[in-house]
Amino acid sequence: MLKKLIFSGSVLLAGLLPTVEATHAANGDTLKQIRERGEILCGVHPARHGFAAPDSKGTWAGFEVDYCHALASAVFGDAAKVRFVALSSQQRFPAIQSGEVDVLARNVTATLTRDTALGLNFAPPIFYTGTGFMVRKDAGVEKIEDLDGATICMAPGSTTERNVAQIFAARNLSYTPVVIENNKQLVDAYVTGRCDVLTKDKAALPGVRAYDTQDPEAHMLLPGIYSKEPLAMAVRQGDDEWYDIVKWVIYATFNAEELGVGQANVEEQMKSQDPDIQSLLGVIGDYGQKLGLDDKWGYNVISQVGNYADIYDRHFGPKSPIALDRDLNRLWSDGGILYGFPIQ
């Protein structure tokens, strides 16, 4: 068992080895263990604006945090029955492989190697983004080519680290990497001028301005997205029951938005005669039983956490601290690529 440090209702793993052999979960074991424990262990980012961060009282909030709450709603009928485990980029994969967490919801890009060599199964992506670059407005930088010879701050063990190497090599540009694990230290290094550029998933960069309390408007994002980064929740291979639950909770949030069912009107929609809405909310069918859940699992998710638009707007909508256009994160019917499979 890995050594754990517990603080403010969350867990920080310590003493992790660089590599941990993937352990395959027996079908049904994960759900059984979760029910016996009475809570879901959800691995999240220690502090990333909009996605996951604890407040001064240790209460977690964020886009990925809400998807952990959605899983708890489906399994227990209680969104609060989840414990958040703060994981660095180096810790995240050993934690899910070893069973220290039940699900990984930590800005993880789904890739072929991670899907196979790491013994993971990825649920449908819940956020599409790509590598972006932040620079100071007074640096006179307008495009990637202007970064030749720049010093670039980045996190280790991320797809961003590899992407930057490929992007610069393809353009015959040079750069000096400054690799820092701790997110706050990474951003501080950029804000204080230790590096010329900060690179992360583009969706994570707008929140960086909050770190510069002296002049938050001094920074800008370079135009363009330079990689494909489908962020997805991950589980261990070998437990199809748990994998199915994670998948269908995500699909339920997509479908609910498409059907016009949200947190604000779900009680009214329980009276709908639309069979798709009835199936989603458990009015008809035994779809919950097929997942090993209560048939009202979809209703519990939407009523307690919301549909995709509810979750997105809460953390990235126009009234949120980090306003991001939904772009590809729109429904397929609205010009995006989010597509929920039918509950039939």
Instruction: Give the helix, strand, coil percentages of the chain, each rounded to 5.
Output: 40, 20, 40
Q: Residues with Cβ < 8 Å from 166, sequence gap 6 or more?
A: none
Q: Residues with Cβ < 8 Å from 211, sequence gap 6 or more?
A: 184, 187, 188, 191
Q: Please give the helix or strand (H or E) that residue 261 lies within, else none.
A: none
pTM of the complete model: 0.85
Other residues' Cβ atoms within 10 Å of the Cβ of residue 286: 9
Closest C-alpha among 302, 226, 209 to residue 264: 302
| DSSP letter assigned to residue 125 | P
- In the three-class reduction of DSSP (H, G, I as helix; E, B as strand; rest coil), residue 114 is classed as helix
CB 210 within 8 A of CB 321: yes
Q: Residue type for 44, please?
A: V
Give the pLDDT score at 95.
98
Give the pLDDT score at 203.
86
Q: Residue type for 121, please?
A: N
| DSSP letter assigned to residue 104 | E
Taking only the tens of pLDDT, the chain with its 344 residues reads 333 333 334 444 433 333 445 556 777 799 999 999 999 999 999 988 899 999 999 999 999 999 999 999 999 999 999 999 999 989 999 999 999 999 999 999 999 999 999 999 999 999 999 999 999 999 999 999 999 999 999 998 888 999 999 999 999 999 999 999 888 899 999 999 999 999 998 888 888 877 777 888 899 999 888 899 999 999 999 999 999 999 999 999 999 999 999 999 999 999 999 999 999 999 999 999 999 999 999 999 999 999 999 999 999 999 998 888 899 999 999 999 999 999 99
